[in-house]
Amino acid sequence: MRSPFPAVAHPPGRMIRLLGVILAVTAAMLGVFALSASPAVAAEGDPYRISGNVQLDGEPLEGVKLVIDGPGGKQEVETDENGQWRVSVPEKDDYTVTLDEETLPEGIAVVDPEDDSPDEKDVTVGAGGRVTVNFFIGEGERNVTSMWDQFIQRTVQGLNFGLMLGLAAIGLSLVFGTTGISNFAHGEMVTFGAVAASFLVSAGSLALPLWIGLPLAVVLSAGFGLLLDMGLWRPLRRKRVGVVQLMIVSIGLSLALRYTFQFFIGGGTTQLPYASAPKLNFGPVQLSWIDIASIVISIVMIIAFALWLTRSRLGKATRAISDNSSLAAASGIDVDYVVRVVWIIAGGLAGLAGVLYAYYRPGIKWDMGAQMLLLMFAAVTLGGLGTAYGALIGSLIVGVLVEVSGLWIPSDLKYAGALVILIVILLFRPQGILGRRERIG
Amino acid sequence: MDWIQILSNTASSILSPATIGYALAALGLAVHFGYAGLLNMGIAGFMAIGAYGYAISILTFDLPWWLAAMIGLVAAAIFALILGVPTLRLRGDYLAIVTIAAAEVVRLLFLTTAFDDVTGSADGLSGYHASFREANPIPPGMYGFGPWVYNENQWWVRILGLLTLAIAVLVVWMLMRSPWGRVLKGIREDEDAVRALGKNAFAYKLQALVLGGVLAAAGGIVYALPSAVSPGVYVTSLTFFVWTALLLGGAATVFGPLLGSLIFWVLQTFLSNFLPALVQAGVLPFMTQIQAGTLRFILVGVALMLLVIFMPQGILGNKKELTFVK
Amino acid sequence: MSSEIPAPTEPTTDAAAEAADQHDPTAAPVERPKTTGLHVGDAKPGVAKVDPIIVADGVRRTFGGLTAVDVEHLEIPRGAITALIGPNGAGKTTLFNLLTGFDKPNEGTWTFDGKSLSGVPAFKVARLGQVRTFQLTKALGLLTVLENMKLGATGQRGERFWSSLIPALWRKQDAKIEARAMGLLAKFKLDAKAPDFAASLSGGQRKLLEMARALMSEPKLVMLDEPMAGVNPALTQSLLDHILDLKDEGMTVLFVEHDMHMVRHIADWVIVMAEGKVVAEGDPYSVMRDPAVIDAYLGAHQELDLGVVTGRVTAEEADPTTDAAASTSVDADELASAGTAEAEAEFAPDTEEKKK
């Protein structure tokens, strides 16, 4: 079953709140789209329709809330006085319709003995372009998962998210440490990985097998990092451009890349193969084999990276430069070469994070990296700017926090929660958890 | 290709509320960054607070439009204080991260369904024009010449917008020529040196943050005045666009933000008409009309990079000031 | 501080004359008299002054595990030029930062002109009449030289937000400030540069500008952090004269300097710091003749671990970058025979405490 909530594999049964991040971000981009005249979100003018009827013993129920999620983002709808509802959707694809049981009258629930989560239905908009969804409503127990089980499930998802966030954040942190750039275009390096993967493995494109295509996407991303360094950052280093200028250059780069992606892949969401792999049950935790693979790959890559950073000559040189660039240069380290390697690694790790994130959300979108950027900054700052391990620990904390906080605050505010934490951390411990005070000021 | 239409639309954008709104916001950013050296990456948050403050005051509290506008400005000032008191002690790039995060938090708060009754969540707010239009002294009808023909309400928005902009420019111009502006510029150059001379650098930075924030909020209100408030407008891209407009005109100048916003919108409007027309005419066969629309945002990004690298002082900036601010 | 014992003991004019004869290539054509009789009792670290302008007690600042400054008691004499010397990393600049409110100590109290400065922010310290300059010159590059100067004046009405909007309120005052600024610039031979950006000045001119700007605030105490660093030798003499002029105009000067000729030439009193502590005090001639100071603090034996020399740490614990054996041997033989016994004795209580 496809999760209606891309960021969390939903617990079996009733979700506390279904409005998700994707809604937030899609709607956020509305304005930009309005400017660019390429509506990619569900709107009145969309060609296809999902509709239904909510009744209790033949009596229509008014004001029952339903959430429809799928390509084009989440939509919310309420039943009218006849118990009827309808939404327009942009694409023929799979959608999830969830009925908010809290809006049903007291003591009433969606009942279906065959289904673990009867309040939620998957539908496919097919050839006809129209589909009807009905729920069985009657007196009965609402489907409730214990708080604890939800907590465990979200923690595991949060760790998964945190690990992939960590992959990206390590690169951001390394780049900052060695060059002083607060790279606002790092999110686009994440998107690049996902877009490259889509280009290599999607059925409509090259359709390479996953085991070749996805690693190749990571290699391409590393090459992208190299390209950026050679074409942009190294000349700017030569020109001795100041860090604030570099930061604004990275903002310009971020805008240019972001809209370049949109130029080529459009405003919609595309999926990688196996994005809707079935969930397996491990006690209270539901994971698909994609989730498991994602966790394993992240951990392996992070260990490999840690070994590189601590054991190899190049890794040690990187740390030396992060510590004191001019001293490192004076002691014979080829700073330019090391920085180039750092860009390659940052690009590769960001690309890998992009591929994993494309499965996690799920979906590839032109601005997916930008969604992650501030969380990366939050993670890096939390751990201490310029320290790779700090970035990793910060990422895990942010990942878990984002997912678990959804238990208590509306899920469309869970990113806001992480950002508030970022601000508070900066105020009270600007050097981060693992950072050293001397780095400040 | 309909050149008359393209050029007319382009010329019309000179007086558009969007141009005036951007100019106000960019002027606020000039106070922040150009004069005080504060890396505010959350200008969109200030604009959102101004616009929402205005719309919510009218729709929820039924206040007259001028009081609503005041409330929008005061709300932005309070936001600046809340943001500034703890963060102005931080190093420059930390301030950038805090402000961009704060602006996102603001946007998410306006977007969440939790406050749907007040904010309209993803739909935003609209239909708050009655009180503003009642105050319009212009009799109904179409006025103007050439591409600048508007009805009475459109003129009313533009006149008030330009008036606000004129006052704002005058205030900033006078401030920056005064000893107050001198201290502020000193802080931009080196905060410690100014503190060593007995100036309370923190207080000056806070005043600058509030002033710039209020100007940005005024820009947000003017931007939202003719139509609607939509949370999708106040994304980080908006902040970056305002930065581009500012750096284009010249960060440490009073008229640079105006010129920058004007050029930004004239070019945007021109390209948004011209590029799709090119596609339609078959000149750009490898592109769809939608792609042509996206192209101009790519160009904004490229322009921002080139500006910062090759012309950091902007069009009106002093050539001698080749050193970028900090 | 008490002024019961008015008489100075040690510094003598003979010594001054003798020293001036012996060396000092940068000596001014007209040697100005040194201010003497500043202290009460024997010149040892922490000695009481007849009329102190700054009194610091138990000021300690640590960075992580490193103690940068640990001053038990220190008084700066009023109306004189005091030099703060010591090897790199001795804590001179950190002490400067603490005294001026740019850094906060872990513990300790200090007063300026009898007013406690603990917890007082830097800008208020400056308003009390204690201005400083910086080791790395902080000329405000994108302001003109004249604007730099005008920024130095205190109590400007036009610097307040609302009144700045009404030029009538501050025009007159601003004109006066400008006249004073031009006067000072003329004195510092920078008047021709007034309309230029400060960024266009040479390093030495920036030092001059920074000093002139500090004077705009009409301070009682001027604190100069390495005023001669990076200054073109041609400008050295004029800079020295300016510093001497400050004293003649009734100001107190405290400066950090590495240039010993300059210290000898203009300082009335010298405070020597090492490893965060005040290790010697006195008039320039006696301090500089103190072999312990010469050997340990002025660079004659940089391979020695100061901790070992002063007996603070044992040879085993010595800094690995120094020659521990040499340090101990110096401690045992050379320094003692060179007559540093008294100096050692003076440090003794201090070092004993430290051992525990």
- C-alpha to C-alpha distance for A211 and A60, rounded to whole angstroms: 52
The three-state secondary structure class of A417 is helix
Contacts of B307 in chain A (CB under 8 A): 252
| Residues 153-172 (C) with a CB less than 8 A from some CB of B | 154, 156-161, 164-165, 167, 170
Would you tell me the crossing angle of helices A186-201 and A147-179 to the nearest 10 degrees? 110
Domain-embedded: residue B308: no
Domain-embedded: residue A195: yes
Choose among C100, C110, C86, C126: nearest CA to C226.
C86
pLDDT at B303 over 50: yes
| Residues 94-123 (B) with a CB less than 8 A from some CB of A | 94, 96-98, 100-102, 104-105, 107-109, 111-114, 122
pLDDT at C312 over 70: no
DSSP per-residue string spanning B152-170 = HHHHHHHHHHHHHHHHHHH
Choose among B212, B175, B162, B170: nearest CA to B28.
B212
Contacts of C216 in chain B (CB under 8 A): 197
Residue A199 — pLDDT band, cuts 50, 70, 90? Answer: very high
* Rama region for C272: left / alpha / beta (φ>0; ψ in -120 to 50; rest): beta
Nearest CA in chain B to A366: B294
Residues A277 and A298 in one domain: yes
- C-alpha to C-alpha distance for A223 and A229, rounded to whole angstroms: 10
| Residues 200-219 (C) with a CB less than 8 A from some CB of B | 210, 213-214, 216-217
Residues 6+ apart with CB under 8 A from A288: A9, A277, A278, A279, A280
- Region A332-347: what's the mean pLDDT? 93
For residue B143, report the phi and psi dihedrals to the nearest 5 degrees: -130, 165
The domain boundary residue, chosen from A145, A169, A202: A145
Domain count, chain B: 1
pLDDT for res C124: 93
Note whether A438 contacts C: Cβ–Cβ < 8 A: yes
Domain-embedded: residue B7: no
Domain count, chain A: 2
Chain C: list its partners (3+ Cβ pairs within 8 Å): A, B
- C-alpha to C-alpha distance for A400 and A163, rounded to whole angstroms: 10
pLDDT for res A28: 38
Cis peptide leading into A362, omega within 30 of 0?
yes
Contact B301 A256 (CB under 8 A): yes
Contact B323 C126 (CB under 8 A): no
Contacts of C64 in chain A (CB under 8 A): 437
Residues A59 and A100 in one domain: yes
Residues A308 and A335 in one domain: yes
Buried b (16+ CB within 10 A) or exposed e, B23-52: bbbbbbbbbbbbbbbbbbbbbbbbbbbbbb
**CB-based contacts of B63-72 (< 8 A; 24+ apart in sequence):** B64/B131, B64/B135, B65/B128, B65/B131, B65/B132, B65/B135, B66/B135, B68/B128, B68/B131, B69/B218, B69/B221, B72/B217, B72/B218, B72/B220, B72/B221
- Paired with C116 in beta bridges are C111
- Region C155-163: what's the mean pLDDT? 93
| Residues 204-223 (B) with a CB less than 8 A from some CB of A | none
- C-alpha to C-alpha distance for A8 and A361, rounded to whole angstroms: 8
Would you tell me the crossing angle of helices C167-187 and C145-152 to the nearest 10 degrees? 110
Give the structural domain span for B162. 17-233
Separation in Å, CA of B87 to nearest CA in chain A: 6
**Chain B interface, mutation test: which of C117, C148, C150, C151, most B Cβ atoms within 10 Å?**
C151
DSSP code of C33? P
Largest CA distance in chain B: 66
C250: its two tokens: 């009734």
Q: How far is CA B104 from the centre of its chain?
A: 16
Q: Per-residue pLDDT tens for B91-125?
A: 777 788 889 999 999 999 999 888 888 998 888 99
> What number is the ipTM of this complex?
0.91
Separation in Å, CA of C104 to nearest CA in chain A: 14
Residues A187 and A99 in one domain: no
Choose among C204, C180, C182, C201: nearest CA to C191.
C182
What is each CA distance from C199 to A174, B263, B326, C133, in whole angstroms?
A: 34, 31, 13, 17
| Residues 96-155 (C) with a CB less than 8 A from some CB of A | none
Domain-embedded: residue A425: yes
Chain B: list its partners (3+ Cβ pairs within 8 Å): A, C
Lowest-pLDDT choice from A54-58, A229-233, A365-369, B272-276: A54-58
CATH of the domain at A422: 1.10.3470
What's chain C's length in residues? 356
Domain-embedded: residue B61: yes
Lowest-pLDDT choice from A3-7, A153-157, A226-230, A249-253: A3-7
Contact C165 B174 (CB under 8 A): yes
Residues A270 and A408 in one domain: yes
Q: Which domains does chain C have, with CATH numbers?
A: 13-139+218-283 (3.40.50.300), 142-200 (no CATH), 292-355 (no CATH)
- C-alpha to C-alpha distance for B188 and B325, rounded to whole angstroms: 7
Give the structural domain span for A251. 149-439
Separation in Å, CA of C121 to nearest CA in chain A: 17
**Chain A interface, mutation test: which of B192, B308, B313, B322, most A Cβ atoms within 10 Å?**
B308
Contact in structure between B264 and B304 (CB atoms under 8 Å): no
Residues A159 and A53 in one domain: no
Note whether A106 contacts C: Cβ–Cβ < 8 A: no
Domain-embedded: residue B1: no
Q: Per-residue pLDDT tens for A352-382?
A: 999 999 999 888 999 999 889 999 998 888 8
Residues A133 and A81 in one domain: yes
| Residues 102-161 (B) with a CB less than 8 A from some CB of C | none
Residues A60 and A80 in one domain: yes
Contact A30 B232 (CB under 8 A): yes
Contact in structure between B310 and B247 (CB atoms under 8 Å): no
Residues A60 and A131 in one domain: yes
Residues 6+ apart with CB under 8 A from A221: A189, A192, A193, A196, A347, A348, A350, A351, A352, A354
Domain-embedded: residue A13: no
Contact in structure between B254 and B29 (CB atoms under 8 Å): no
- C-alpha to C-alpha distance for A121 and A2, rounded to whole angstroms: 10
Q: Per-residue pLDDT tens for C78-107?
A: 999 999 988 877 888 899 899 999 988 999
Using DSSP bridges, classify how beta strands A130-134 and B148-151 pair: parallel, antiparallel or unpaired.
unpaired
Q: What percent of chain B has pLDDT over 90?
A: 74
Contacts of A28 in chain B (CB under 8 A): 107, 111, 231-232, 235
For residue C164, report the phi and psi dihedrals to the nearest 5 degrees: -65, -20
Nearest CA in chain A to B326: A244
Q: Per-residue pLDDT tens for B119-161?
A: 988 889 999 999 999 999 999 999 999 899 999 999 999 999 9
Domain-embedded: residue B185: yes
- C-alpha to C-alpha distance for A165 and A374, rounded to whole angstroms: 11
What's chain A's length in residues? 441
- C-alpha to C-alpha distance for B48 and C309, rounded to whole angstroms: 66
Residues A228 and A321 in one domain: yes
